[in-house]
């Protein structure tokens, strides 16, 4: 068949419409999460922590953490007068059911929630012999449980004691900063349920995140700064006795 001018005039718009459809490709699924646009951390406001254990319970339920193991836990410090180097620290069942009334009188008492510090230069990922644990491009330290051998190097390497071997899978486990939540635009389970706002997820690459203003205007510390781990869990109002 010979294509006449008339045919061409009819075909061209049809072809253009079809080509537009081809170029559009598959429809994009929701707002896409970009690994390079975030740098996650957390802010812990110690003067706000009431030691209720909500975060510990929420973490266990969100992440199926076995009983007796903790991805996050709360410590209660008792510092007697000047004995800042010898604080009495307790964490009954990780603070999951809260804390019984203090027996000691006098001195100073306060709660310190702990979790993985999601170190930028994490010692735990450096010792993994198989590449089963790693820092993601958005700054979260994760464990690939299908790759983990359960050799426990990382458990020993973490200076904060944040890792354990899951007795069911026999692989290393730790706080994932609720990666399955934050990558969907939600906050972590612990931050979601914290009734006083003592824990706040922070995106250090987001210039609109209130963390920047907070860090600028408060006396903020990280745990074990001498270890040069690049910790991204920031503690406000932390006493010098905290280890």
Partner 1 sequence: MLKDIEHLIRLTLVMAIGLVLFVIVRAAVIPPSFGEYGHYRGDAIAEIAARPIAYAGHQVCESCHTEVVDQKRLGKHVVVACEACHGPLAKHAEDPASVTPPKLDTGVVCGRCHEANSAKPKTFPQVVTADHSGGVACDMCHQPHKPGIEASPPKLAEGKK
Contacts of 83 by beta carbon, 8 Å cutoff, 6+ apart: none
Residues 49-78 that bind partner 1 (CB under 8 A): 49-54, 58, 61-62, 76-78
Report the nearest approach of partner 1 to the CB of residue 10 (Å): 46
* Residue nearer to partner 1 on the CB measure, 118 or 181: 181
Torsion of CA 8, 10, 15, 17, to 10 degrees: 150
Report the nearest approach of partner 1 to the CB of residue 131 (Å): 4
| Residue of 56, 120, 64, 124 whose CA lies nearest to 93 | 56
Contacts of 94 by beta carbon, 8 Å cutoff, 6+ apart: 53, 56, 70, 72, 73, 74
Report the nearest approach of partner 1 to the CB of residue 63 (Å): 8
In the list 40, 70, 73, 110, the residue contacting partner 1 (rule: CB under 8 A) is 110
> Is residue 101 close enough to count as binding partner 1 by CB under 8 A?
yes
Residues 126-145 that bind partner 1 (CB under 8 A): 131-137, 142, 144
Report the nearest approach of partner 1 to the CB of residue 74 (Å): 10
* Residue nearer to partner 1 on the CB measure, 19 or 147: 147
> Is residue 180 close enough to count as binding partner 1 by CB under 8 A?
yes
CA distances from 37 to 85, 138, 205 (A): 41, 7, 7
> Is residue 183 close enough to count as binding partner 1 by CB under 8 A?
yes
> Is residue 160 close enough to count as binding partner 1 by CB under 8 A?
no
Calpha distance 12→177 (Å, rounded)? 53
* Residue nearer to partner 1 on the CB measure, 168 or 226: 168
* Residue nearer to partner 1 on the CB measure, 132 or 204: 132
Instruction: Indicate left, alpha or beta for 190 from its phi (over 0: left) and psi (-120 to 50: alpha).
Output: alpha
Return the residue matching tokens 């951390």.
41
Calpha distance 99→95 (Å, rounded)? 6
**Are 82 and 94 spatial neighbours (Cβ–Cβ below 8 Å)?**
no
Report the nearest approach of partner 1 to the CB of residue 144 (Å): 4
Q: Summarize as ranges the residues that interact with partner 1 (CB under 8 A).
A: 33, 35, 47-54, 58, 61-62, 76-78, 97-99, 101-102, 109-111, 131-137, 142, 144, 146-147, 176, 179-181, 183-184, 186-187, 189, 192-197
């Amino acid at each position: 068949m010979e294509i006449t001018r008339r045919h061409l005039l009819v075909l061209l718009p049809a072809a253009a419409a079809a080509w537009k459809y081809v170029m559009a490709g598959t429809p994009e699924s929701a707002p896409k999460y970009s690994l390079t646009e975030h740098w996650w951390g957390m802010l812990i406001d110690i003067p706000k922590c009431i030691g209720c254990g909500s975060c510990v319970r929420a973490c266990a339920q969100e992440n199926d953490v076995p009983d007796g193991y903790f991805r996050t836990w709360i410590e209660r410090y008792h510092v007697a007068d000047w004995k800042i180097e010898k604080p009495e620290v307790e964490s009954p069942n990780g603070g999951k059911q809260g804390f019984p009334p203090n027996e000691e009188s006098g001195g100073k008492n306060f709660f310190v929630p702990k979790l993985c510090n999601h170190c930028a230069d994490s010692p735990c990922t450096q010792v993994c012999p198989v590449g089963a644990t790693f820092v993601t491009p958005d700054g979260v330290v994760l464990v690939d449980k299908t790759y983990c051998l359960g050799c426990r190097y990382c458990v020993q390497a973490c200076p904060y004691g944040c890792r354990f071997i899951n007795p069911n899978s026999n692989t290393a486990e730790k706080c994932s900063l609720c990666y399955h939540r934050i990558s969907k635009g939600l906050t972590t389970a612990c931050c979601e349920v914290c009734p006083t706002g003592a824990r706040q997820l922070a995106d250090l690459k987001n210039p609109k995140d209130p963390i920047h203003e907070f860090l600028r205007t408060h006396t903020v510390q990280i745990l074990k700064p001498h270890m040069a781990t690049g910790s991204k869990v920031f503690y406000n109002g932390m006493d010098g006795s905290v280890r």
